Structure 1
């Protein structure tokens, strides 16, 4: 429903009904079969015209918008969609997703996200697998609410679907160089074309370097430089007009430095005072030679990644006349090594090094009816098998409560099998009924779990397992009131399987699995074009009945301290509204605005009161559990999110165009703990960006200058905590850059 898009040049009126030019084809990257649809979108000014008759509240983002807003990582998407939160875990490449207040914080990535990420219809069960994938993207769909009725796996919060550009039947290529502040550079390029009458290919690559804006005030050393390279290839074979085979592969290496947290609270007053910084960009980190030797890395190691991701997939599509058969097979791997300074300063109280070796195989098959029938249906099955070996080392040597280095490692296997069916029927008077069912079985085991506290103790744990069988459903009705106005109402129920906490485990009960969660969703929405080509307005209102919400909380281990654990919150509810407006008030000016507002409340919830526990331990030296009733408390998600853009396009001289643009985003405050205030609540922030571009109307080349965080606001992306400190992870300062693109 909410759509962020860039509209075609209104001056090129003589091209609106003509076939797509070679330059326009290069810009869209669309295959020939899609050119007619693109011409329709151009004629009506606003993109995604066909989706205006689809009963959903998805945010659809075009390739042009991704470039103009400089979306280079999945975390950048939260500034383009309402009620969406995508946060890096402790400044690392692992990511947490929240959509309409439904999400899951999982630093160790051994559980399923409440918002599933797909790349070209392949589900990514481990969030860091999207590292380096945001280049040569054809578009992004963000779908809120329970999912799994038309493809993939069932989930409670929704999904983020990334679509990469496909091979083209004509020869095309391009390269873009982006240089900005703090010696940051990003180079991307692609080449696409035919190998024969039935075979075409596309190869795209991206490499990023520099950009480190944090520095250590004690020695001036910088932190945050990128060092990432990715390549992706596709081969398309169309042996006849009814069959398509697509083979793809990708590879990424990432040795980028991390963003370090800034301590804002001393969790243990018996420990030394926190550092005092005089600049937003300052931070401290350190690694002890003994710890570097234990993990086999150099003594001068900075907080950083050392990752390799690769994968391959095969897609087969066959038109059977009465229906279309589709099959997607994929294999993905993750080799991640990550060092993070989790106390946020130069002390050995929470330094962590993590190794992850994971694989995922998936297979989906489905059958879809013809689109020109009153009765439409789809049926499919999805299978996922993942295996993970994870090992993480911690240096607590200077933490009085522990005083040792530790090593925790384990293995985890997962198998998920889901089936789904969906149906819709067109009635007279523009009415359509639609519905769907899904069933999912998820089987997980965690085993070979060991914790070694060097010079202190060693623990071995029994294996644990959890099996979830869940059934979801969706039922709705839509009415095409007029050609430019559609309304819909739907009810859906989604589930998410349970899992395990994988922390510094020292007791068997810490491995007890948590239960599945479920969301019953009610949604009422509309899509309209009150003034075609001039004004588009879409909106939705929703209510979620949330049961057994999975949330990370603190677990108190007597004579040891607090550890992270997952709990099931018995009941909560979320409600909200979302709007999107696209406005073309007069020639040359295009405006887009998203608005999201949501409120979530815990109905029944008791949790550990960490503040009282820490204060009692500071006064007595004893850990004692204190609990607090959070029933009636706000769930803490940002209540108001705004994002928008304005572009002014002209032709200053014949055959050349210029564009000036502004973009903005606002995020309300976010409580990072139940009822969190003070340092436990991230302050609201407003970001402003701008750009100016110039180039020929043929799109053969373009030059752009831009600024992000134009007002140089200081803000926090997320927060984290460890043994002695609570930290805020800062967002980027102002970056000023230039971009040059050449296409042929």
Structure 2
């Protein structure tokens, strides 16, 4: 059982929140002879939060290989692609920002190995060689990183090992889909210097095709590399240098048109796995790409970070310096037709530098404290090209919108835990953040018509946030808590397809006052674990991508603030071993939300009026009392049966499931403006020797071959939905020494 036990040890040492010291990997020689029969992440059971923790092994077993798959393992979580692009938005408990241009900070921060990614797209392609992952909802930023309103998603990738290890995994599935992962790790200079090199490639898997010519769409083409070098010059000092590179030339998923706002152009009648798109030669010359380009990406991401720590006995000083960059070139056909009415090509060049310093007290004291500061600086330029040639008589031209943006954030934070009598612990944290953003030199050129230039604009924030709570741990197996937290998130600017100055008006920071209570209980040690939380959010100035109707031009996206809304709900997570060899997990999230003060353009009414009259005009609706735009119910879990089939071999058969209720995609959205509910089921069978180096798996995702949709939106002449993948059947073989 040596191989499996070493993995358990690696997973447990990464079971902490961002900010935990990687030097804990010195425990990697520990042997846990029956670790697989015990629950993992035991330390997290003593934290006053509702975080979900999973191991890298669990992610692979349940087919979670992309951030879009994360809602399968956490309650009240939504992760959606924007308009079929590589831009991804995260929502936790209904808090999130739909940011197509990615020039604003996400409401849910992504971390890799303690490094924050304020621009979520910069983390693309990094989800490989993962040791563990955690999803932490609610206001954050009081102990590490940057303040935020929605929460954070944190990944721990595998560290260098004290002994030589190497491994490769090959995954082949339907539609020529291939995923290859490999790593090599070991010491270079005894215990002083060690390294790890990991890589991933993904190819094929395209499941859509164009019925007009048979071309298929959706193939992956991704290469990624990560290298780590750990240096321990002294017993209490450690440095970790990490670098990564990602090249992503994957094709996009084509959109499925639902509503046509341009009756003069006939709509395609498409089946579920069919897609339509077009690409004109004149547009290819304008953007400088080759003829025959399919919707997809040509993106490069790379970065490096240096983490250092030194134990001064009374406290540990940690430093995290990081530089991340992205070079994005992406073409999408956002009308889903053969007409040039909504074709878009984006160039993004951006970089982010961040620096964090943190001083942490010793753990086993009555008073524990963390004191730190965080700084990040972003420089960005973007160009968005549009082909509206067939969008006549309203437009009928090609267009370019370009801009630059500078941003910097500086925050300071302090957090304390104080042990009181009667098994109580007082928790408190305070953060101050100053944020400055400047949108510069935005211009729009309508080729053959006119050139528009706009005044530069900016958004500033200078606010405090904090948390206060009480934790009660009467016995080791039960912990209850109550806390109140205030989260803040900076404002920003809209910067896409701009034709009037009013689109650039900055939107304000948002704030969340969150009340949360919960408990964590190992009801029967090693057999039954139940964690639960209930929450209420008083949400002010919620940032929302609304609709701005330009007469004679049409509806365009513009960020606005919803003055007041509320969210409340419950979450349950359980792990049960009811019978020998049987292992069950189940997450449940129930979320209700309501707008209390909100007036905005009614998208469906505007579209209906245009269909009837041919005139674009704003129509406003008071949405006070209307429910929010989130699924009310999420259910996900897994069940497996593991048994030794012969003396030296073990087999596992398992199922995993995911249910999401209907989701309104516009305020008060019904009918086509609501995503239908769906239920997905996966299955796997795995076999491996107890002491051997290999493992073999056959699996199926969406085994019932359900037709469902992951998100929807509107672009020029079309309201569309994006379909989810059909059934995939595959096999995976791994070899580790």
TM-score by length of 2: 0.96
1:189 paired with 2:202, answer: no
Residue 550 (structure 2) aligned to one of 557, 563, 568? 557
For 1:28 and 1:213, locate their aligned partners in 2 and report how far apart those are by CA, in whole Å: 38
Partner of 1:262: 256
Partner of 1:369: 361
Matched, 1:231 2:208: no
Q: Is the 8 A contact 2:11 2:131 kept in 1?
A: no
Q: How does 1:197-236 map to 2 (within 5 A)?
A: 197=190, 198-236=192-230
Partner of 1:602: 595
Q: Please tell me whether the aligned partners of residues 550 and 566 of structure 1 are also in contact (alpha carbons under 8 angstroms).
A: yes
| Contact 1:41–1:48 (CA under 8 A) maintained in structure 2 | no
**Counterparts of 1:44 and 1:189 in 2: how far apart (Å)?**
27
Which of 424, 427, 433 is the equivalent residue of 2:426?
433
Residues 167-566 of structure 1 mapped to structure 2, 5 A cutoff: 167-197=160-190, 198-268=192-262, 270-277=263-270, 279-400=271-392, 401-566=394-559
Match of 2:189, SS?
A: coil
SS in 2 for 1:65: helix
1:50 aligns with one of 39, 43, 63: 43
Unpaired runs of 5+ in structure 2? 15-23
Q: Report how far residue 147 of structure 1 moved.
A: 0.5
1:124-168 per-residue CA deviation (whole Å, 9 max, x = no partner) reads: 122221221110001111110000000001000000011111000
How much does 1:698 deviate?
2.2
Among 134, 144, 148, the residue aligned to 1:141 = 134
**In the aligned structure 1, how far is the partner of 2:331 from the partner of 2:233?**
49
CA distance in 2, matches of 1:619, 1:491: 50
| 529-538 or 32-41: bigger deviation | 32-41
Q: Is the 8 Å Cα contact of residues 64 and 72 (structure 2) preserved in structure 1? A: no
Partner residue, 1:661: 654
Q: For the structure 1 residues 260 and 644, does the alpha-carbon distance in structure 2 shift closer, same or farther, using more than 3 Å as the test?
A: same
Does residue 83 (structure 1) correspond to residue 69 (structure 2)? The answer is no
Residue by residue over 1:631-670, the C-alpha shift from the partner in whole angstroms, topping out at 9 and shown as x without a partner, is 1111020000000001110111112111101000101111
Contact 1:153 1:418 survives alignment (8 Å): yes
Q: Compute the displacement of 1:23 (Å).
A: 7.5
What's the CA shift for 1:267?
2.7
- Whether the 8 Å contact between 2:6 and 2:28 is mirrored in structure 1 is no
Q: Which residue matches 1:3?
A: none
Tell me by how many angstroms 1:495 deviates. Answer: 0.4
Change (3 A) 1:61 1:559: same
* CA displacement 1:361-382 (0-9 Å, x = unmatched): 0000000000010100000000
CA 1:253/1:687 → structure 2, altered by over 3 Å: closer, same or farther?
A: same
Q: Distance in 2 between matches of 1:596 and 1:151?
A: 27
What is the aligned partner in structure 1 of residue 19 from structure 2? none
Does the Cα contact within 8 Å between 1:26 and 1:743 map onto a contact in 2? no
Distance 1:465 1:683 in 2: 39
Alignment partners' CA distance in 1, 2:426 and 2:450: 62
User: Following the alignment from structure 2 to structure 1, what is the Cα–Cα distance between the partners of residues 665 and 589?
Assistant: 19
Per-residue deviation, 1:449:
0.8
SS of equivalent residue, structure 1 residue 398: coil
Is the 2:12–2:40 contact (alpha carbons within 8 Å) kept by the matching residues of 1?
no
Alignment deviations for residues 675-714 of structure 1 (CA, whole Å, 9 cap, x no partner)? 0011110000000000001111125101100000000000
Residue-by-residue CA offset, 1:550-602 (whole Å, 9 max, x unaligned):
00111011222211101100000000000011000111000000000000000
Distance 2:345 2:338 in 1: 16
Distance 1:27 1:154, change over 3 A: closer
The 1:130–1:294 alpha-carbon spacing in structure 2 relative to 1, beyond 3 Å, is same
Whether the 8 Å CA contact 2:596–2:624 is kept in 1: the answer is yes
* Structure 1 gap ranges (5+): 1-11
2:121 corresponds, among 122, 128, 144, to 128
How far apart, CA to CA, are the structure 1 residues paired with 2:517 and 2:529? 18
Cα distance, 1:609 vs structure 2 = 1.8
Residues 189 and 475 (structure 1), Cα distance of their counterparts in 2 relative to 1, 3 Å cut = same
Structure 2 equivalent of residue 632 of structure 1: 625
Report Cα offsets for 1:91-120 as digits up to 9, x if no partner.
Answer: 221100100000100000000100011111
**Displacement after TM superposition at 1:399 (Å):** 0.4
Kept in 1: contact 2:377–2:408 (CA 8 A): yes
Q: Deviations over 1:63-97 (max 9, x none)?
A: 11011012211111111100000001112211001
Do residues 710 (structure 1) and 703 (structure 2) align? yes
Alpha-carbon offset, residue 35 of structure 1? 4.1
Distance 2:225 2:13 in 1: 17
Write the distance in 2 (CA, Å) between the matches of 1:469 and 1:38: 49
Name the CA distance, whole Å, in 2 between partners of 1:366 and 1:131.
27
Give secondary structure in 1 for the equivalent of 2:351: strand
Partner of 2:719: 726
Q: Report the CA distance between 1:674 and its aligned residue.
A: 0.3
> Quick one: structure 1 residues 26 and 516, their matched pair in 2 at CA, closer, same or farther if it must change by over 3 Å?
closer
Cα deviation, residue 618, structure 1: 3.6
Aligned runs of 1:683-698 on 2, under 5 Å? 683-698=676-691
8 Å contact from structure 1 (residues 20, 39) kept in 2 = no
Q: Distance in 1 between matches of 2:281 and 2:193?
A: 55
Stretch moving more, 556-565 or 207-216: 556-565
Deviates most, 250-259 or 694-703: 694-703
1:307-334 Cα distance to aligned partner (Å, 9 max, x none): 0000000000100110000000000010
Q: Is the CA contact (8 Å cut-off) linking 1:41 and 1:49 kept in structure 2?
A: no
In 1, the alpha carbon distance for the partners of 2:4 and 2:179 equals 30
Aligned to 1:6: none
- Classify the secondary structure of the residue corresponding to 2:410: strand
What do you get for the CA RMSD once the two structures are aligned?
1.7
SS across alignment from 1:292 = helix
Could you tell me how far apart the structure 2 residues matched to 1:599 and 1:403 are?
43
Q: 1:353 to 1:631 in 2, by over 3 A?
A: same
Aligned length: 726
Cα deviation code 1:406-460 (max 9, x no counterpart): 0110000000001100001111221100110001100000111110000111111
Question: What is the alpha-carbon distance in structure 2 between the residues aligned to residue 587 and residue 351 of structure 1?
Answer: 56
Residues 349-405 of structure 1: CA deviation (Å, up to 9, x unaligned):
000000000000000000000001010000000000001100010000100111100
Note the alpha carbon deviations across 1:262-315, whole angstroms, 9 max, x for none: 0011134x43232112x3101100101110111111221000100000000000
Q: Does 1:567 pair with 2:560?
A: yes
2:102 to 109, 122, 147: 109
Shift of 1:622: 3.0
Deviations 1:236-276 (A, max 9, x none): 001111000000100000000000110011134x4323211
